[in-house]
Structure 1
């Protein structure tokens, strides 16, 4: 997720030697993620044991677009396989915002969902709720497919990293969360802070949906779900600020405060008809 909205933090880069290398990007684990050869080591989320089982099952079912679990360490860290490639960090470069890149993000998310639907979700795990689908679901969703959490090669998305916010939910919710960052679902003033100028939002939303292969029923639902997801992200930021988190407090102040969120939410409501029409075109 972006600096105001969340916690993408694994990073990726070109394959190298076995020497320790700090990986950049993200917020919650900034400075705490390192690569040693083919292994990435990072702070383990509370759900790490269940997530490792999930990631292992994805691989067993043929999905190669996620890190493989290596082990959990005694000092509360986890080790995962390193995925070589390029990750877009803010401000996002134009190569990451091309239409072909966007379509490939949709296709990669669809591959994840098709595989994830075959993996049973452990109902006894206390999955994080901060970014989760309020309606729940039987499939584990990523919930944090921001540019910092997608690995590219030759301009196409090949893998997802940082599953810390994964939780049961609907596919359309995960796609709505993804659209927020990749289309992006922001008014022009807000989008200009991190994204290239003059991105055609309705067209890009349709391209993402086309890349995913979204059904007609879910296309009709998507604009409303994006509004719902945006409200959830606002509540997440509000909770962090209320807890005195200096990173989120500073980011909120630097990007226009709550007026920025009011502007985004009002813009989404005003654009609902245009977005619906674009998705059904």
Structure 2
């Protein structure tokens, strides 16, 4: 433990700037903390306690949140976080978030980040970044969600699609091999996530197309970061195969759209 506290690793946006001090976590406050903090508190009032509770803001622009105990997987992702039971529990946890969030009014005056937001918009706040680094596990099951920095209004199905990208994962085999255990069956795992969430039949039919749309939004997000000269994103892009990887991934998604639809509906 340093004077700054224990550094918490994971993620790229706030890498090296998140510290734990006892039961509190201090991290850079998002610009919309004034709207995000009341939202997180309202979630708890509606029965969703599986997220950090905001405690306050510091004078130097940081936010304080309650520490959520448990295990968080970092890349390359270990086998334990990619089990079928873990995947199903992620879907169930996301459904719980959405059910509570549906009862919370979104502050329409706030400037919610658009980087990963649903282009179609919506009346409910989506997390938008449910990657393994942002899910806390206990006893092999997803227990909590952290890092709501990218939360923005959208459709629940958009959040499922963004989650599927990371957890199935919706990546061609070459791309997946760099970060995920070998042998993951993408169509079967997409069905497990949909079952865990409880997607309706119309939503299942729409999901593969929304995943392709979400992938394009994520590519644009990376392109903006690279154009800004972000060292982390420049390095990640180079190490993971550059834009050729994105081209390959998007072609693979389009080529397998019917396979994914069949797995979801049959």
In structure 1, the partner of 2:118 is 133
Q: TM-score, normalised by structure 1?
A: 0.93
Paired residues, number: 265
In structure 2, the partner of 1:87 is 72
Q: TM-score, normalised by structure 2?
A: 0.98
Instruction: Choose the corresponding residue for 2:175, options 190, 197, 203.
Output: 190
Tell me, in whole angstroms, the C-alpha distance in 1 between the residues paired with 2:244 and 2:236.
Answer: 13
Tell me, in whole angstroms, the C-alpha distance in 2 between the residues paired with 1:28 and 1:278.
Answer: 34
Structure 1, gaps ≥5 residues long:
1-15
TM superposition shift of 1:246: 1.5
TM superposition shift of 1:20: 2.3
TM superposition shift of 1:235: 0.5
Instruction: Choose the corresponding residue for 2:81, options 96, 103, 108.
Output: 96
Tell me, in whole angstroms, the C-alpha distance in 1 between the residues paired with 2:176 and 2:23.
Answer: 35
Poorly superposed stretches of 4+, deviation over 4 Å = none
In structure 1, the partner of 2:96 is 111
Are 1:167 and 2:152 an aligned pair? yes
Tell me, in whole angstroms, the C-alpha distance in 2 between the residues paired with 1:142 and 1:249.
Answer: 25
Tell me, in whole angstroms, the C-alpha distance in 2 between the residues paired with 1:52 and 1:93.
Answer: 32
Two-structure CA RMSD over aligned residues (Å): 1.2
Instruction: Choose the corresponding residue for 1:47, options 25, 32, 53.
Output: 32
Can you list the C-alpha shifts for 1:224-263, whole angstroms capped at 9, x where unaligned? Answer: 0000000000011111111111211111111111110000
Tell me, in whole angstroms, the C-alpha distance in 2 between the residues paired with 1:19 and 1:127.
Answer: 29
TM superposition shift of 1:163: 0.1
Instruction: Choose the corresponding residue for 1:201, options 179, 186, 195.
Output: 186
Tell me, in whole angstroms, the C-alpha distance in 1 between the residues paired with 2:56 and 2:185.
Answer: 43
Tell me, in whole angstroms, the C-alpha distance in 1 between the residues paired with 2:166 and 2:232.
Answer: 19
Instruction: Choose the corresponding residue for 1:276, options 249, 253, 261.
Output: 261
Structure 2 residue matching 1:205: 3-state secondary structure:
helix
Structure 2, gaps ≥5 residues long:
none
Partners of 2:35 and 2:107 within 8 A in 1: yes
TM superposition shift of 1:19: 9.0
In structure 2, the partner of 1:210 is 195
Moved more, 27-36 or 184-193: 27-36
Are 1:33 and 2:18 an aligned pair? yes
Partners of 1:19 and 1:37 within 8 A in 2: no
